[in-house]
Structure 1
Amino acid sequence: MDDLTTRIPVPLVDPERPAGLVARVESLTKSYGAHGARVDALREVTLGIRRGEFTAVMGPSGSGKSTLMHIMAGLDSPSSGRVWLGDTEIGSLGDEQLTLLRRRRVGFVFQAYNLVPTLDVEGNLMLPFELDGRTPSVREREWIDELETVLGLDARLGHRPHELSGGQQQRVAIARALVTRPELVFADEPTGNLDSRTGREVLQVLQSATRGYGQSIAMVTHDPVAASYADRVLFLADGRLVDDRTGMTAAEIANYMLTMEQVS
């Protein structure tokens, strides 16, 4: 199999790029429509996701949270501005190169579980390795076993998605995003379909991924309790980054969000 470095152009490295960022955007704008019907989902957003940090992205409905995530993950393209994964400016990549980059450096957890219906739980968890043409290492197998246990999947490994509840499917999707220990995991409302107890367990797993393995998590959520598990909270409003906070409690986040909604 071709090595990734032979398939992706030499990264366009910005000498002024702050150290320790796994992803960033600069002057990012995303618009839909034209002329009088134009809508700006994002407006001149500049931010970075730091290595080994759990970042939550919050904001009122329509603030651009999911649009920002999709563009940073290379699933959508900006109207203007620049996007990097690591030192690679992804706007310069072709579709195949971008797919390889995402496969080896990024994990995804979205509201649509996107599990393969013909594969059982174990098969879905092994899928990222199969797509990359390899088998898990001993250390990776230990991490997979830990994920299966913590997320309560041990007794479900032979079940197919249609035999699982929505919450169980979400747990499989989260485990699949983490199995290869990618540098960065994008999560869109990862606890939205889970009961409070399982949701807390999932958030603790995401925390352990950052603190124990140095992975970075970027999570879109509307839930102040979920966001309180993050090291850092980014607030968007009307497509703009309006605040960047650390160490916030659920109550502080809820009060901040209430103020934002009243202002809007």
Structure 2
Amino acid sequence: MTSTTPARSAAQLTSVTKTFGVAPQEVQALRAITVSFNAGEFTAIMGPSGSGKSTLMHLTAGLDRATSGQILIGDTDITALDDAALTVLRRRQIGFIFQSFNLVPTLDAMSNIALPFELDRRAISPEERSWIDRLVDELGLRDRLTHRPHQLSGGQQQRVAIARALATRPDLIFADEPTGALDSRTSREVLTLLADASTKYGQSIAMVTHDPVAASYADRVLFIADGQLVHELRRSSAEEISRAALELETRS
């Protein structure tokens, strides 16, 4: 008989609720959500505008605080941390990839990649330098390291952003509509890179998207509606994801 080792959880939310405002005008953005993001798993989060998917991302990343419930990043309960400790945790254990790239325009590509270490006021170790060199080569950035963002194409800028997010080997990377500003060919390249980061490097990635094609690159797809998780698919085609999204929309 063979036994399987349970997947390590990069992040775990238990009965997490987020309420904005006060009665009678209060709005429940999230309603007792329980979900985990496993190491080495690429998860897409989908739902209509106002469904709660961005709130889920902000709470899990420690950018906002839950009204109730528990959120673990690795083994750390972030709901118990003060603002200073949350800042350090985000810097060291969470990576971000944005639609608008969010590169520092006055820094070259290498300096942008190394920015998390600069912000953390620590030197890059030899092991970390080796890891960054590997990322640079695999992302095809070796001959672009001295270029500033305005000298790079959109796809190259997003590759720099991916390298920056992966540089510290965080527990979890959030990608917020990462292909929204890219053409279809470059989008496919970036999504393939994200999928590779999951399968090759064991990176946990949670991607907020409205695009079924983007979601089809993920290992699983979570659907959120009215602040609740309402459906989940394992790896599926864009057509299957679109069909599920339409059925859920029709049902609501």
1:114-153 map, 5 Å? 114-132=102-120, 133-138=122-127, 140-153=128-141
Q: TM-score, normalised to structure 1's length?
A: 0.85
Partners of 1:162 and 1:19 in 2: CA distance = 41
**1:148 Cα deviation from its structure 2 partner:** 3.5
Farther off after superposition, 171-180 or 155-164: 155-164
What SS does the aligned partner of 1:45 have?
strand
Q: Deviations over 1:160-194 (max 9, x none)?
A: 23344444433322221112222211111111111
Partners of 2:246 and 2:7 in 1: CA distance = 34
**1:19 Cα deviation from its structure 2 partner:** 5.9
**1:146 Cα deviation from its structure 2 partner:** 4.4
Number of the residue aligned with 1:180: 168
Number of the residue aligned with 2:3: none
Number of the residue aligned with 2:146: 158
2:14–2:71 Cα contact (<8 Å) kept = yes
**1:152 Cα deviation from its structure 2 partner:** 4.5
Find out whether 1:106 has 2:127 as its counterpart: no
1:31 pairs, out of 12, 19, 39, with 19
The RMSD of aligned alpha carbons is: 2.0
Number of the residue aligned with 2:55: 67
- Give percent identity, aligned residues only: 62
Number of the residue aligned with 2:231: 243
How many equivalent pairs are there?
A: 246
Farther off after superposition, 166-175 or 88-97: 166-175
Number of the residue aligned with 1:197: 185
Q: TM-score, normalised to structure 2's length?
A: 0.89
1:60–1:257 Cα contact (<8 Å) kept = no
Give structure 1 stretches of 5+ with no counterpart: 1-17
1:170–1:193 Cα contact (<8 Å) kept = no
Q: Deviations over 1:81-127 (max 9, x none)?
A: 21111111111112221222222211111234322222111110111
2:219 pairs, out of 211, 231, 236, with 231
Farther off after superposition, 46-55 or 151-160: 151-160
Partners of 2:38 and 2:138 in 1: CA distance = 26
